[in-house]
Structure 1
């Protein structure tokens, strides 16, 4: 007997209004776990359609965050657009949006408009500073929240370098992940209450809650930097994790590294000399393998300083199938990062390649609304529905 495993979110419908990263990432993860995700785009499309390497008219950035989704293109400014979108939302389990607060309301698509027509609806609203409050009106991108949350200033102070933005959209990913947790929680709660929820996610909140150094600020004590340090080593720099005092104790106790500090030396001089001795020890090995064996022998965690390309080629990434191949719309495939969820008894996987803007207008309206061909034709002729012509 063949047993067909069900995806965790099979039969969940998601209407995704979001653009760029925070919302689209949450939608992509829902899709990978089996939800039917429809991305609702404006005539100009998601701005990320122009970011990264283009293949057959679709960018790499858009592919990464939107593979697996169907695309419906609606001009919200056109007469008849709002009623159409409200009909779609009435058939959805989840709506995702990350517009500035007030935009959805201006189009008659606020929570207060949608919930009465679909009491079981779960709506995720991601914004920089929340749906209301003194700064809710502000435009917000990840870099803004990196600055506003204290991350940029702290990194600059600790590294004693000029302030720069991290080369990673941490605030967007934090917001997307916390939004995902909230959606799943609301779906579980709905099973008991029968009611939907409006989820208000502020990117600032997500940055502060995921800050493992927040306790130093809240307790008003000096920051003690944790994490790892990069040391010169045979074969290139290496990350070694742990408080240096612990590292030093292990090196002297188990590897015979002599303490070079004279009796009565000031603390700063002791630290400098001991760090110098540790650095000389790491460089004393004939090759990297021997150094790693010495670190492993005393249970010191280490990491190679890899490039992004090397990370995807690592033994673990290869073994776990971290990179998936999706249809590149030209008879071949292109790579995307696979979702990280590995269930013991349920599949998760990117469902399909990226869609052209408006590619699934008819398919979705027929399946979700039972719309007729003539009704869809009228929406197209009236400018409500749009679609790009694939190259």
Structure 2
């Protein structure tokens, strides 16, 4: 079954214009979030954008990644190295409330698109600049990709210590956490502008963002001076901290308190373990996490995943079946929440689009436009610009 694209609905950011002058995922995903919330997002791009390179279904440039980060936008193709087309881009920025870019500072300066250049023409603009490293650091001009940020932020160290191998997390977490940070930072700056009339430069360094993200729990014993213990959140660093195999699949079963453990062991047919001194106190000792995780692993195959769902719900034990991504569109929770919907794309035919996870009771976010072909809205947007003169 396919779902129709929503008619124009005024979302919470209706009336806000965003210029997306960014590439790949970090900036475009942030701009898409703002578009989902009702903003008019205009993407200034080149067909050579990396997100448009790769496997595609029917139309050149319409890759899955592009379809997943560029909906609710209008695409305008402009060559910023051409003086006339660059001036068109600057005129568009003059009409905007927000500019998002991840171009390197040197390139922005050469093109006359630095914050100082833009603020002179639009002092109320919120200028969100995302890059790999802080602009005042000795790494400011360094190239950065998600893997380099995972390394520079300590995430690889966490993986090495927990798993015994310095692996990268198999998702572009640095890009996506930074996208969310861009989105909430832009909203805060817009609120300030509404109160004062003043725009500002908002810098979002990926590495700094992920360091702060990682250290929330992993600063641990180093929170204090002198240190009371090592870094690393003990439960997360436990070797057995992983999903378990049930009788027929995989599930996350995480007993957190002594009663959880006793109920879990009893349901697994191991009442002897329910009397183990390690689960009979007022709290679980951190030193016992690894041994207890091994026991969970041993006991989980006693029941099917569905049986564990019922047992854990009855006893308030944290639990979730492992979602198989290949079958996500069949999952009832995903389907009922419309987290994946089939829609008709103008050039790609029937595609699956990712739903909007946040719900507003009065001003819901909507999917009003699917990802455009590069430059398809150039004439329309520039005509509007000329009409406004």
Q: TM-score range by the shorter chain?
A: 0.7 to 0.9
Number of the residue aligned with 2:281: none
The 3 A distance-change label for structure 1 pair 18 and 257 is same
5+ residue gaps, structure 1, are 373-391
Number of the residue aligned with 1:226: 235
The 3 A distance-change label for structure 1 pair 323 and 252 is closer
How big is the shift at 1:156? 1.8
Q: Number of aligned pairs?
A: 363
Matches of residues 1-391 of structure 1 in structure 2 within 5 Å? 6-42=10-46, 44-57=47-60, 58-160=62-164, 162-211=165-214, 212-216=216-220, 217-219=222-224, 220=227, 221-222=229-230, 223-226=232-235, 229-243=242-256, 247-251=260-264, 257-259=271-273, 277-285=295-303, 287-330=304-347, 332-370=349-387
Q: Deviations over 1:146-204 (max 9, x none)?
A: 111111121121112x2221111100011110110011111111111011111000111
DSSP-derived class of the 1:158 partner: helix
The 3 A distance-change label for structure 1 pair 152 and 5 is same
DSSP-derived class of the 2:83 partner: coil
How big is the shift at 1:88? 1.2
| TM-score (ref. length: structure 2) | 0.84
Q: Deviations over 1:82-141 (max 9, x none)?
A: 322211111111111011222111100111001111111111000011233211111111
8 Å contact kept, 2:309–2:320: no
8 Å contact kept, 1:99–1:127: yes
8 Å contact kept, 2:77–2:378: yes
Distance in structure 1 (CA, Å) of the matches to 2:208 and 2:130 = 11
8 Å contact kept, 2:359–2:365: yes
8 Å contact kept, 2:250–2:305: no
DSSP-derived class of the 1:238 partner: strand
8 Å contact kept, 1:48–1:59: yes
How big is the shift at 1:332? 3.0
Bigger mean CA offset, 327-336 vs 188-197: 327-336
Bigger mean CA offset, 99-108 vs 307-316: 307-316
8 Å contact kept, 2:356–2:365: yes
The 3 A distance-change label for structure 1 pair 320 and 30 is same
Q: Deviations over 1:297-333 (max 9, x none)?
A: 3211112122213334321211111123444324833
Distance in structure 1 (CA, Å) of the matches to 2:290 and 2:109 = 60
Number of the residue aligned with 1:376: none
CA RMSD of aligned residues (A): 2.9
8 Å contact kept, 2:58–2:348: no
Distance in structure 2 (CA, Å) of the matches to 1:27 and 1:65 = 8
DSSP-derived class of the 1:258 partner: helix
DSSP-derived class of the 1:102 partner: helix
8 Å contact kept, 1:17–1:97: yes
The 3 A distance-change label for structure 1 pair 357 and 179 is same
The 3 A distance-change label for structure 1 pair 218 and 100 is farther
Distance in structure 1 (CA, Å) of the matches to 2:265 and 2:168 = 39
5+ residue gaps, structure 2, are 1-7, 278-284
| TM-score (ref. length: structure 1) | 0.84
DSSP-derived class of the 1:229 partner: coil
The 3 A distance-change label for structure 1 pair 324 and 120 is farther
